[in-house]
């Protein structure tokens, strides 16, 4: 794969066969994929998807976990419903993550990624050790298949994320750095955050957004280059830290506007990429 290869994120639940064609049409060599509907997870469907990816010349760099019952409506809802932190669903979701890892393996992805949820900021919190143990279990499930695990940034501050990864002590765990999420959740300046977790980054979402204006609410996402991230500075810093992995555009809307925004983001990133690689 080329350094800083451009890519795009497909949402959880999307028909991957249709979307792979679209990814090719838009001119991307890589893709991160959400979990597809169950009909696309049979042996036959996986073979068909592998063939479609090969024909399109598109490489899957990550499969993103997603679970029934998750909602990103506002911060308290995310806290209650997202990832492996909520205790009530932890066991069944870990099992489901195993199925997702197998799917990732079967379609040739080197890793899975996850919004693990709101990890406690304080290590003395009694809920913290079980969260570490959960990450260890997830890392071992993926590790048994020779896959990595990437934790999506957003819900926790960078020092907490770094400590969490260190405490789990598994060498297949890294970070899928989404700079907009840090802004949307008000969890810290993303460019400063790279000082803490920059060396752990194995993937990134090129996404932009504005800070929240009310307690408990999320900020709002914008087209790339129109939010508060400072995408050129972000990508440049990541590059200077040694990152050469894919730059995966994420735009969490649907329809024609999504395609327009993705293509605009692609042009913006192509400029930044050309500048960095020719320097």
The verdict on 178 binding Mg ion (CB under 5 A) reads yes
70 scored as a contact of Mg ion (CB under 5 A): no
- Which residues share a beta bridge with 8? 31, 249
The distance of closest approach from Cβ of residue 115 to Mg ion in the complex, given in angstroms and rounded to an integer, is 8
How many chain residues interact with Mg ion (CB under 5 A)? 3
In this chain, which of 90, 105, 163, 205 binds Mg ion, going by CB under 5 A?
Answer: 205
Is the Cβ of residue 52 or residue 184 nearer to Mg ion in the bound state?
184
The site string for Mg ion over 225-264 (x = CB under 5 A, - otherwise) reads -------------------------x--------------
The CA-atom distances, in angstroms, between 147 and each of 74, 132, 171, 201, 202 are 31, 19, 11, 15, 12
Give whichever of 106 and 226 is closer to Mg ion, judged by the CB atom.
226
Length of the chain: 279
Stretch that binds Mg ion, among 77-85, 101-109, 200-208, 233-241 (CB under 5 A): 200-208
Query: What track of x and - describes contact with Mg ion for positions 19 through 58 (by CB under 5 A)?
Result: ----------------------------------------
d(CA 19, CA 24): 9
Q: Is there a contact between 155 and 164 (Cβ–Cβ < 8 Å)?
A: no
Part of the chain binding Mg ion (CB under 5 A), chosen from 47-55, 73-81, 197-205, 263-271: 197-205
| Distance linking the first and last C-alpha atoms of the chain | 20
Beta strand pairing status for 173-177 and 201-206? parallel
β-bridge mates for residue 176, sequence order: 152, 203
In the complex with Mg ion, the residue whose CB is nearer, 162 or 205, is 205
CB of 47 to Mg ion, least distance (A): 29
- Vertex 1 angle, CA 35 and 152, to 5°: 40
Residues 116-175 that bind Mg ion (CB under 5 A): none
Question: By C-alpha distance, which of 156, 159, 163 is closest to 178?
Answer: 156
Binding site for Mg ion (CB under 5 A): 178, 205, 250
């Amino acid at each position: 794969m080329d350094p800083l290869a451009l890519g795009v994120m497909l949402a959880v639940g999307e028909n991957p066969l249709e979307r792979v064609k679209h990814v090719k049409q838009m001119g991307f060599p890589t893709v991160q994929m959400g979990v597809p509907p169950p009909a696309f997870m049979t042996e036959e469907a996986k073979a068909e998807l592998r063939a479609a990816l090969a024909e399109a010349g598109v490489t899957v760099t990550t499969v993103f976990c997603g679970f029934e019952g998750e909602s990103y409506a506002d911060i308290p809802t995310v806290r209650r419903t997202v990832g492996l932190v909520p205790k009530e669903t932890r066991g069944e979701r870990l099992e489901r993550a195993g199925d997702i890892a197998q799917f990732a393996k079967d379609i040739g992805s080197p890793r899975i990624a996850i919004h693990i949820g709101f990890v406690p900021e304080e290590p003395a919190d009694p809920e913290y050790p079980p969260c570490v143990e959960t990450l260890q279990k997830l890392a071992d499930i993926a590790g048994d298949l020779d896959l990595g695990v990437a934790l999506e940034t957003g819900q926790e501050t960078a020092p907490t994320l770094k400590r969490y990864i260190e405490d789990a002590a598994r060498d297949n765990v890294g970070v899928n750095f989404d700079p907009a999420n840090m802004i949307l959740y008000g969890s810290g300046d993303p460019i400063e955050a790279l000082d803490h977790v920059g060396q752990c980054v194995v993937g990134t979402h090129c996404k932009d957004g504005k800070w929240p204006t009310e307690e408990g609410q999320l900020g709002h996402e914008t087209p790339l280059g129109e939010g508060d991230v400072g995408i050129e500075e972000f990508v440049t810093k990541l590059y200077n830290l040694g990152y050469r992995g894919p730059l995966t555009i994420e735009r969490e809307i649907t329809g024609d506007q999504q395609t327009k925004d993705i293509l605009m983001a692609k042009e913006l990133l192509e400029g930044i990429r050309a500048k960095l690689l020719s320097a």
